[in-house]
Structures are given as structure tokens and as C-alpha cells.
Amino acid sequence: MSVYLSPLLRAVEPYVPGEQPRDRRYVKLNTNESPYPPSPAVLEAAERAAGSLNLYCDPTALRLREAAAEAFGVSADMVLPVNGSDEILNFAFMAYGHAGIAVPDISYGFYAVLAELHRVHRREIPLRPDFSIDHRDWLNLGRTAVLANPNAPTGLALPLSEVEEIVASNRENVVVIDEAYVDFGAGSAVSLTKKYDNLLVTRTFSKSHSLAGARLGFGIASPGLIADLTAVKDSTNPYNVNAVTQAAGIAAFGDNDYYMANCRAVAAQRDRTAARLRELGFEVTDSRANFLFARHPGVSGGELYEKLRERGILVRHFSAAPIAEYNRVTVGTGEQMDVFVRAVEEILA
């Protein structure tokens, strides 16, 4: 860092994304991408849109908002498309961080980074020892709540009734439900945005819709919250979703059956792989997401990570003490999971 950097930014420890190494081919199970390519219609739409890249994109992303609104069952003024859902989280911290935030003590690492960046007071609410969230800890918080459902990296989901209790008991503040993984088998709170004007649901096309590289996410909320967040967007990056991504997103909404079939295939591989890992002696959380979170009494989290890496298999290991014995393994295709399981069997043997 240079001597010129703001003293306030010096203290911020940036988010460290999972590796995207180019040195060799890996079985890449470390950043929760979809193993499946975008649908042909999405590729075609992206290519067509690329022909107009000399022009600015629509800053209101109107057609994309309309497609999203129809898919989510809300009106177009209840959707804000963003440059990956990390961007809507950033906007939400800017717009609602002044109230202070509450986050689970084990969750998506970006929340803590954004809190530091925007100098938002952060209260960490402990998970239970089994990593589940006790929703009663989240009632009447008196501050902005930020919860991933399913949570990351545990994969555990709260039932919708408990999410609703949290939202209903915090009417003085905004509740952000990060649904990055909801398409893999949890209940979505999107319909509650019509009932509660303090609820912001965030979605991403990075995991379930094979568009991680295109950067596309959504905020879904009451028209009032969306107006707030749109003002933040227009004050930071009015053209936040580029033309190719807007076109790809519209086409992806048109191909929902393809993506939902992919999500079901991933969920089936997840459950099959979890069962096999349990047979091998792993403790595996009941993940509703497109990843598994597992530890083994016979091999440390760091060692398993390294030995898989030597065999060309990348998973995600977090060194924070309470989860250092675990690895987070993205669920890929059946063949990828077979390669992963065989490598694990070898390492244990």
C-alpha cells in the first residue's frame, strides 16, 4: 500500500476471493460456480448484444427488470439489477448501515469487509454449536439485520416461517436476506417483500444460473427500498450492469427450465456425495446449497485441502478457528464428484 492511502482505508482488510488459478487444469470445486455452461439462448443473446458495445447500456435496465419482476412475481419497481449480488450488499450497507448491523458470527466473509469499509458497527450473533441459527436471537434487534439463507459456508437454511418472524419483529429496521443459494433447495422470502416494506432479498445468477463471470445479481424489495438503493446505484455507478450481461440475464429468465433442471441435478449430486462422505466418517452439515461443508476426525481441514490440491482438486478452506477443520466443497457434475470422492478415499487410506 502507498503512503497516500486514506488512513481509514488502511485498516480495511479486503475480501479474499477463492482462487482462480491458471497454472493447470483443476477440478474446480472452490468458488460455488455452476459446472454447466450458460444455455444456447443466453450465449446467442450475449453475442448479439456485444455488437452494440459502442453504446452505453440502459442505466435503468428496464427490460431486464421487467423479466426479473415477472419471474419473481413482483412489480418492476421492486427489482434492482446489480453487478453481482456483492454490489447490492455494498449498496445496502451504504444505505442502511448507519443503524448498525447484525450478522451471524460465521457467515459470508464479505459482510465483515463491507462493515469495515463503511465503518458500520457490527454485532456478531453466535450460531449454535451445530452451526444452525436460532431465529429467536434475531428478533427485535434495533439494527439492520443481514442473514444469508441458506447460510454460507454452512449451507444450513432457516424455514420461511422463522425468516418471516425476524422480518416482522424488526419493522423499525431493514432485514437483508441474502438468497445466493436459495435455488438449490431452500424456501425463498421473495413473496414476503410484498407484505413487509423493510425486507430486502438479494439474489445472484452466479451460482444457479451459470453467469458468475457476467456479474449479475438482484435486489428485490418494496418500491421504497428499491428507490433508496437505486439512488445509491446512480450515485456510484449508473451503468452498473453492462449491455451484454443485461441481454444474457433476460435470456436466462426465458430459459428457467434449463437452469432449474441444472439446480436439481446439482442438489442430487450434493445429497449423493454427502451420503458417501458420511459413510467415510465425515461430519457433513445438512446443506441446502450447491456446496458441502464437512470435516473428518482423521485429517485436519488444512491437510485435506492441501492433499486434494496436489491431486488437482480445488476446494475452499477457511482458516478461522471455529471452522478450520472443515472444507467447503462446491458440488459439480457427477463425474467431478466421483473424482473428488476417489481422491478423498485415497487420502484417508
Ligand X SMILES: *Cc1c(COP(=O)(O)O)cnc(C)c1O
- Binding residues vs ligand X (CB under 6 A): 32, 84-86, 108, 148, 152, 178, 180, 204, 206, 212, 217
Distance, CA of 199 to CA of 175 (rounded, Å): 5
Give me the least distance between CB of 27 and ligand X, in Å please: 19
Partners of 203 in the beta sheet? 218
Give me the least distance between CB of 321 and ligand X, in Å please: 21
Q: 216 or 308: whose CB is closer to ligand X?
A: 216
Half-sphere exposure of 240 (CA within 13 A, CB side): 28
Give me the least distance between CB of 51 and ligand X, in Å please: 26
Q: 86 or 183: whose CB is closer to ligand X?
A: 86
Using Cβ positions, the residue closest to ligand X within the complex turns out to be 84
Whole-number CA gyration radius for the chain:
20
Give me the least distance between CB of 70 and ligand X, in Å please: 21
Give me the least distance between CB of 227 and ligand X, in Å please: 22
Give me the least distance between CB of 150 and ligand X, in Å please: 8
Distance, CA of 287 to CA of 16 (rounded, Å): 23
Partners of 291 in the beta sheet? 330
CA–CA distances in Å: residue 325 to residues 85, 121, 236, 251, 291: 28, 29, 40, 41, 16
Q: 81 or 301: whose CB is closer to ligand X?
A: 81
Q: What angle do CA 177, 221, 193 make, to 5 degrees?
A: 80
Q: 294 or 299: whose CB is closer to ligand X?
A: 294
Q: 210 or 336: whose CB is closer to ligand X?
A: 210
CA–CA distances in Å: residue 257 to residues 1, 248, 251: 47, 15, 12
Of residues 67, 129, 133, 142, the one with CA closest to residue 102: 142
Measured from the Cβ of residue 222, the count of other Cβ atoms closer than 10 Å reads 20
Q: 81 or 217: whose CB is closer to ligand X?
A: 217
